[in-house]
Amino acid sequence: MSETLPVELLGPPALPADHDPLADGILMAHQRAWLEDQSPLKIAAKGRRTGITYAEALDDTLIAATSRSGGGDNVYYIGDTKDKGLEFIRYVGHFARVVSKELAQVEEFLFEDQRDDGQTKHIAAYRVRFASGFQVVALSSRPANIRGLQGVVVIDEAAFHKDVGLVLDAVNALLIWGGRIRIISSHNGEDNAFNLLINDTRAGLYDYSIHHIPFFLAVQNGLYERVCLMRGWTPTADGKEEWLNKILRSYGPRTEARDEELGAIPRKSSGSYLPRALVQKAQQEGIPIIRWSKGESWYLDDKRLAEAKAWFKEHIEPLLDRLDPKRRTALGQDFARDGDLSVIDVAQAIDHTRWATAFQLEMRRIPFDVQQYVLFEILDRLPRMQRAALDARGNGQSHAEAAQQRFGVERVLCIKATQQWYAAAFPEYRAALEDRSWILPAGEDVIADHRLAVLVRGFPTVSDDHVKGSDGEQRHGDSMIASLLAHHASQAEAEEYAYRPALPAATGSARDRFMRDDDDFDTGHGSFARDLRGGF
């Protein structure tokens, strides 16, 4: 249910009731430049608190207050937090009253977000409606269907949105119906999709108008004097120096953070633990990535195992047959049943220190029993199988334990990835990528997965974020985790002992019997005999 509140109760406390943003000496030069730029696509790469959101709120108020014939339109503001949306709509409510002379009210309501699959979700939102028939809406969270928003769409602090790449991809579709896009953000690392969009625009791939607004430009344009005006201070030269030094000293030795947050310079050491350039360096063309997905209800199909066997024979057996029988092999699996991918990474040694992925298998919505069949068939056929490391968290625990029961604790590791395990495994994995002693398959999906390895309080871990893969569905670092597990499995030799009983004298010498064809020995011994032939 919508609740209408008087604009006075929601007005920004920092703005006096008679504050007029169009009065002389209020707008700074960079704010005026932003307002005067009427490009359909605009980007502001800014330092913090430089007043661009304020200027955007003023511009959006004027747009929504204008008739359709005059170029008016609806405006949708998407901030990275609910508080940002409320602050923005408070500015709009104030400007509507002071600039547009409208008795506008700020309303809190539920915004109906219609997803592509037909499902509906309701998002808390705030809006100001104008006599023109248009409105400014501030959403508390990112809608799933940004493409459904028609008008002016403002993405604030875009670099800090969850799934920022998906957000930026979605807003581009708005241009089809004449929409306008405003992307405003401080930086969040050079590998962030926001910075990549700016770089691609400068390279001529997009038509965004770029505004670079560092904190120091805002200071030059009168930011300190505006702060004094809002705070009721008297601006002085000494006061300005003290104010500026206090801000700069708050960063201490964190110069990269200072340059990023104030100077609008993306730092190299962002939250990403495995940067794009590092992953690209470790990639090699030609390594197969096999993708297998089924529908949600396939687990009820009585013929699923027969179908899986036929699929395995066609797609996986040829890859297993191509493995070098003289080289050591390791396997890692990041398990998932639905939602995320279940990925198996098979790697072979190149020499004593270097390994390369032989192939990756990505499975989506594959039932438990079919995944177990696939894993067991692969493990049974791997030459000189050193070890396998399997994800044993959540649903993966049963899957990993079954493999350990079948193949033994020496050959199958059940890994419950904790912060401590990541802290030990990730640095070794990163070092292997840096010196190319671990080779990855090529492709953007592999890069996107690896970029979800992040530093949190100085320790490497996996981000909670998801990214959209080349198949249009969600990924959560799945191939990266499978590769990390395979690398872990490759780092120590597995030892296996077997007992062969003495043979009766009537059958001939033991040496003669051992040198015969292995068919008799295979009986009852399964994969171990095959491992001996492969040189285990």
pLDDT tens digits along 348-375? 999 988 999 999 999 999 999 999 999 9
499 assigned to some structural domain: no
Predicted confidence at residue 367, as pLDDT, reads 96
Q: How far is CA 155 from CA 23, 26, 185, 189, 242, in A?
A: 27, 24, 8, 18, 34
- Let me know whether 38 and 174 are in one domain: yes
Q: Are 95 and 11 in contact (CB under 8 A)?
A: no
- Let me know whether 201 and 281 are in one domain: no
Predicted confidence at residue 116, as pLDDT, reads 64
347 assigned to some structural domain: yes
380 assigned to some structural domain: yes
289 assigned to some structural domain: yes
Predicted confidence at residue 324, as pLDDT, reads 96
Helix H segments across 221-286? 223-231, 237-249, 255-261, 276-282
The tokens describing 203, both together, are: 């390279």
Tally the domains of the chain.
3
- Let me know whether 7 and 103 are in one domain: yes
How many Å apart are CA 343 and CA 442, to the nearest integer? 15
**Which residues span the domain enclosing 477?**
276-490
Q: Determine the length of the chain.
A: 536
498 assigned to some structural domain: no
Cut 0.75: pTM above it: no
pLDDT tens figures, 129-176? 999 999 999 987 777 667 678 899 999 998 887 666 677 777 766 777
- Let me know whether 398 and 339 are in one domain: yes
- Let me know whether 49 and 133 are in one domain: yes
Element (H, E) at 449: helix 444-450
- Let me know whether 354 and 331 are in one domain: yes
Divide the 536 residues of the chain into consecutive groups of 10 and give the mean pLDDT of each group.
Answer: 38 68 92 95 94 95 94 91 87 92 83 75 89 92 73 90 71 74 90 85 91 95 91 93 92 83 80 84 96 95 96 97 96 92 97 95 96 97 96 93 95 92 92 95 93 81 85 90 97 54 44 37 36 34
Predicted confidence at residue 493, as pLDDT, reads 59
390 assigned to some structural domain: yes
- Let me know whether 173 and 312 are in one domain: no
- Let me know whether 527 and 449 are in one domain: no
Domain boundary among 261, 296, 317: 261
- Let me know whether 199 and 336 are in one domain: no
Q: Are 137 and 149 in contact (CB under 8 A)?
A: no
